[in-house]
Amino acid sequence: MNAPATPPQFTAVLFGLSGCLVDFGARAQPPKLSSGTAAEAQLASHAELAPGAHELLNDLHQHKVPCAWLDELPEQACTQLSSNLPEWIKACNRPARSWPAPDACWQALMELNVSQLDGCVLVSSEPRLLQAGLNAGLWTIGLAACGHLCGKTLNDWQALEATERERLRAQATLTLYRLGVHAVTDQLTELGPCLSDLNLRRLKGERP
**What residue ranges of the chain have pLDDT lower than 50?**
1, 3-4, 6, 31, 38
Question: CA 56 from chain center: how many Å?
Answer: 12
> First CA to last CA across the chain, in angstroms?
29
pTM beyond cutoff 0.85: yes
Domains of the chain plus CATH, in order, are: 12-28+41-203 (3.40.50.1000)
Q: Which amino acid is at 98?
A: S
DSSP string, 98-133: PTTSTHHHHHHHHHTT---STTEEEEES-HHHHHHH
What pLDDT, on a 0 to 100 scale, did the predictor assign at position 62? 93
What pLDDT, on a 0 to 100 scale, did the predictor assign at position 93? 77
**Residue 121 phi, psi dihedral angles, 5° rounding:** -125, 140
What's the burial of 71, exposed, middle or buried (CB within 10 Å: 0-12/13-18/19+)?
buried
What pLDDT, on a 0 to 100 scale, did the predictor assign at position 14? 98
Q: Which residues pair with 87 in a beta bridge?
A: none
What pLDDT, on a 0 to 100 scale, did the predictor assign at position 76? 87
What pLDDT, on a 0 to 100 scale, did the predictor assign at position 101? 96
**Residue 105 phi, psi dihedral angles, 5° rounding:** -70, -45
